[in-house]
Amino acid sequence: MEEVSYGALALIPPIISIALCFITKQVLISMFAGILAGGIILSGYNPFAGLSYSLNTLVTNLGDPGNANLVIFTMFMGVGIAFIWRLGGSFALAEAAKKKFKKRRSVCLGTWGLGMCTSINDCLVAAVDGNVFRDICKEYRISSEKFSYVLDSTAAPSAALFISDWIAYQIGMIGQGLDAAGITEIEPMGAYVRSIPFNMYSILTLLFVGFLMYTGMDYGPMLKAEVRCLEKGEFTSPTASPMLDVGHELGEAKMTKPMISSFVLPIVSAFATIIFGIIWTGREYMSQGPLAVLENCDASAALLWGSFVLAAVGIIIALVSRILTFRETCDTMIDGLKLMTLTGTILVLAWSLGEITKQLGLADFVVSLVGDSIPFGILPPIIMAFSILIAFATGTSWGTMAIMTPLAIEMAYAITGDVNLTIGMSGAVLSGAILGDHASPVSDTTVMASIFSGADHIDHVGTQLPYSLTVGGVIMVLYLIYGYTKISPFILLPIGFAALCLIATFMHKYCIKKYNINPNYADSMTKAIK
- Predicted pLDDT of residue 467: 96
Neighbouring C-alpha atoms within 13 Å toward the C-beta of 107:
32
- Predicted pLDDT of residue 121: 63
CA dist list (Å): 68 to 60, 261, 351, 504, 509: 10, 31, 11, 41, 48
Torsional sign, CA 489, 490, 495, 498: positive
- Predicted pLDDT of residue 24: 75
Give backbone dihedrals phi and psi of 487, rounded to 5 degrees, phi first: -65, 140
Rounded Cα–Cα distance for residues 386 and 39 (Å): 24
Higher pLDDT, 68 or 189: 68
- Predicted pLDDT of residue 252: 65
CB 85 within 8 A of CB 250: yes
Other beta carbons within 10 Å of 502: 10
* 371 has pLDDT over 60: no
- Predicted pLDDT of residue 1: 44
Residue 123's nearest CA partner among 77, 174, 62, 58 is 77
If pLDDT is split at 50, 70 and 90, which confidence band does 211 have? Answer: very high
Query: Per residue in 41-60, pLDDT tens?
Result: 999 899 999 999 999 989 88
Average pLDDT over residues 321-325: 87
Other beta carbons within 10 Å of 391: 29
Q: Which residues contact 376 (CB under 8 A, 6 or more apart)?
A: 412, 415, 416, 421, 483
Q: Could you tell me what percent of the chain has a pLDDT over 90?
A: 29
Query: Per residue in 437-469, pLDDT tens?
Result: 888 887 877 888 888 888 888 899 999 999 999
- Predicted pLDDT of residue 253: 67
Highest mean pLDDT among 111-115, 433-437, 468-472: 468-472
Neighbouring C-alpha atoms within 13 Å toward the C-beta of 81:
31
For 59-68, the CB contacts below 8 A with 24+ separation are: 60/355, 61/348, 61/351, 61/352, 61/355, 62/348, 64/351, 66/300, 67/347, 67/348, 67/351
- Predicted pLDDT of residue 165: 60
Average pLDDT over residues 195-208: 95
If pLDDT is split at 50, 70 and 90, which confidence band does 191 have? Answer: confident
Query: Per residue in 240-293, pLDDT tens?
Result: 777 665 555 556 667 777 778 888 888 889 888 988 988 898 888 888 877 677
Average pLDDT over residues 314-328: 90
CA dist list (Å): 471 to 46, 204, 426, 433, 467: 43, 7, 18, 13, 6
Highest mean pLDDT among 65-79, 281-295, 389-403, 487-501: 487-501
Query: Per residue in 123-160, pLDDT tens?
Result: 667 777 777 788 888 888 899 999 999 999 998 898 88
- Predicted pLDDT of residue 190: 76
Other beta carbons within 10 Å of 1: 8
- Predicted pLDDT of residue 243: 66
**Cβ-based burial of 239 (10 A; exposed 0-12, middle 13-18, buried ≥19):** exposed
**Cβ-based burial of 261 (10 A; exposed 0-12, middle 13-18, buried ≥19):** middle
DSSP state of 271: H
Give backbone dihedrals phi and psi of 199, rounded to 5 degrees, phi first: -80, 65
Rounded Cα–Cα distance for residues 429 and 182 (Å): 19
Rounded Cα–Cα distance for residues 316 and 309 (Å): 10
Rounded Cα–Cα distance for residues 387 and 411 (Å): 14
* 490 has pLDDT over 60: yes
Q: One-letter amino acid identity for 426?
A: S
- Predicted pLDDT of residue 2: 47
CB 428 within 8 A of CB 187: no
* 118 has pLDDT over 50: yes
**Cβ-based burial of 373 (10 A; exposed 0-12, middle 13-18, buried ≥19):** exposed
- Predicted pLDDT of residue 505: 95
pTM: 0.75
What does the mean pLDDT of the chain come to? Answer: 83
Burial 505-521 (b: 16+ CB within 10 A, else e): eebbeebbeeeebeeeb
- Predicted pLDDT of residue 123: 66
Residue 492's nearest CA partner among 185, 136, 200, 274 is 200
CB 123 within 8 A of CB 445: yes
